[in-house]
Amino acid sequence: MADEKSSANSLNWDDEQARDTFRHSAAHVLAAAVKRLFPQARLGIGPAIEDRFYYDFDIPGGFGPGDLDRIEAEMRRVVAEGHPFERTELTRQQALDLFESCGEPYKVELARELPDGVPITIYRSGDFVDLCAGPHLASTSAIKHFKLMSLAGAYWRGDERLPMLQRIYGTAFPTKEALDEYLFRIEEAKKRDHRVLGRQLGLFSLHDEGQGFPFWHNKGLILWRLLEGFWRDEHQRRGYLEVRTPVVLHEELWHRSGHWDHYRNNMYFTKIDDVLHAIKPMNCPGAMLLYKEDLHSYREFPLRVAELGLVHRHELSGVLHGLLRVRNFTQDDAHIFMTPDQVKDEIVGVMELFHDIYSAFGLKYHVELSTRPENSMGEDAQWELATSALESALIEKGAAYKLNPGDGAFYGPKIDYHLRDSLGRTWQCGTIQLDFQMPERFDLTYIGPDGQQHRPVMLHRTCYGAMERFIGLLIEEYAGAFPTWLAPVQVRVLPIADRHHASAGEVTERLRAAGYRPELDTRNEKIGFKIRGAEVDKIPYMIVIGDREAASGQLSVRRRGEGDLGGMSIEDFQRRLGDEVRSRAR
């Protein structure tokens, strides 16, 4: 971990705390520059986040379009001046007096709320002072390679009832090469933005009339069904039983499940016959009711029950982001009921399923183990047992994992899968949650080998996480150029002139009859224009039909990104296409 004497050269950039120290110091440089240029700005907070940092400001009228360039230039002056970061401990009253005299109401609020017994520290760098726990670099002079990225609005403390602040995002790296590489990845990410590609490729659209509720177009729904079919095949092979439960359920159920006390602020409600009902934010309570429909024996276990269930969660408009953060989504959920001695094997089995599915898409991942949160329910012994079981499974599989203390679900600890895309970004998708609470609250039982009733253990898990998020991830991973088995349109047939339409139509129908997804382009355009259009639309294959092809029955085949593959018979082309689809070639 970086200490007070850290410099850019001595930092271990592989260490997360060292990176945070570097970027948090850059956030202070940003705030110092803003205060020089805009003395009326009031300071919020300025943490380091993954690959970046930000600082929030309360400034009358907000920042203008050219202000980021001015602020960045001023930051370079602060860096060149080489101010040391100086740490000072204060009493609470000294801190309150200091920030009241500076006219910094947000810092006063934070100082008042610091717990007793925790040292209150400030950091000075030149004429800038901030309430901060640190640590920081030795001097501003170490922060030479940085870039301000964007402006956004952010409610103070994330509460929409509190003032809207102006948030400036930036990034910083110890070398110019590392900064340039990151900025290149950001530009690549813009080209891969799933919101842009989704509209361009006709997959989905977003509308003000339903913020957070995506509209799926035909091609997007084809992609959805393909992913759904792959998911279903993999689960049927592993003995899962698929079910479906209602979207709207009585209020009482959510009291019983614990969601009323622990998750109510994220739920939508409606009245039916003057009785309050909830639109489900999770599928679990419905799965409990289905389980209770029958008597169960230990001989049935493990009982694996899967559901592609539509759920709704109330998200603030400021955090909505395309398909990655929405208000309704379909979870590829499953609930596994088992005896205590089956727990580790079932967790390992789920981990193997996740690996197989992610590998099919070429996705790499890392895992994180999250333990008991403050707002949890249940006994300490149950939580310790559940956490130990998850940890044992990770160790048995030889999986490296990061520990996230206090970040589990309110009913159990969990293993989260963070998928890494081709730009190095991570997305939390899969999760495995071990739960002793729901079986207790719903009085679930099974008959054991002794003929007595016992309480089952329950595993919640979702692999894609949400169909919407997973599709958004895949759009950006592949930059919209889906492998042939996933492409909504696999082949575009391109007649050169009107007289070739009949032959092109026959080829299209033969491919469709064989189970492929062709599209016929009969526009009155030159063939070069049609080929460029198919490339822009990221179609895997193009078939050009002219006089020679119409007369010979041979196809002139082009491959996306490769160009002309030459002539081949329709039978040979179908074999090539079929091989790619069956093998799910990437």
Active site residues: 284, 313, 331, 333, 335, 414, 460
**Could you tell me what percentage of the chain is helix, strand and coil, using 3-state DSSP and rounding each to the nearest 5?**
40, 25, 35
- Report the C-alpha gap between 192 and 185 in whole angstroms: 10
| Contact yes or no for 290/320 (Cβ under 8 A) | no
- Report the C-alpha gap between 437 and 285 in whole angstroms: 12
SS3 324: coil
- Report the C-alpha gap between 207 and 220 in whole angstroms: 16
The three-state (H, E, C) secondary structure of 134-152, written as one string: CCCCCEHHHCCEEEEEEEE
Residue written as token pair 């203008």: 64
Q: Which H or E run contains 311?
A: strand 303-312
| Contact yes or no for 353/234 (Cβ under 8 A) | yes
- Report the C-alpha gap between 79 and 92 in whole angstroms: 30
Number of H helices, E strands in the chain: 18, 28
CA 53 to chain centroid, in Å, comes to 19
- Report the C-alpha gap between 269 and 231 in whole angstroms: 31
SS3 1: coil
Q: Which H or E run contains 437?
A: helix 437-441
Planar angle of CA 217, 218, 222, nearest 5 degrees: 115
Closest listed residue to residue 534, CA positions, set 560, 504, 512, 565: 560
Give buried/exposed letters for 53-65 (b at 16+ CB in 10 A, else e): bbbbbbeeeebee
SS3 166: strand
**Cis peptide leading into residue 302 (ω within 30°):** yes
Give φ, ψ of 10 to 5 degrees: -90, -10
- Report the C-alpha gap between 582 and 580 in whole angstroms: 6
Amino acid at position 482, single letter: F
Closest listed residue to residue 21, CA positions, set 112, 89, 107, 87: 87
- Report the C-alpha gap between 164 and 526 in whole angstroms: 53
Half-sphere exposure of 334 (CA within 13 A, CB side): 31
Query: What's the first-to-final CA gap in the chain, in angstroms?
Result: 40
CA 39 to chain centroid, in Å, comes to 38
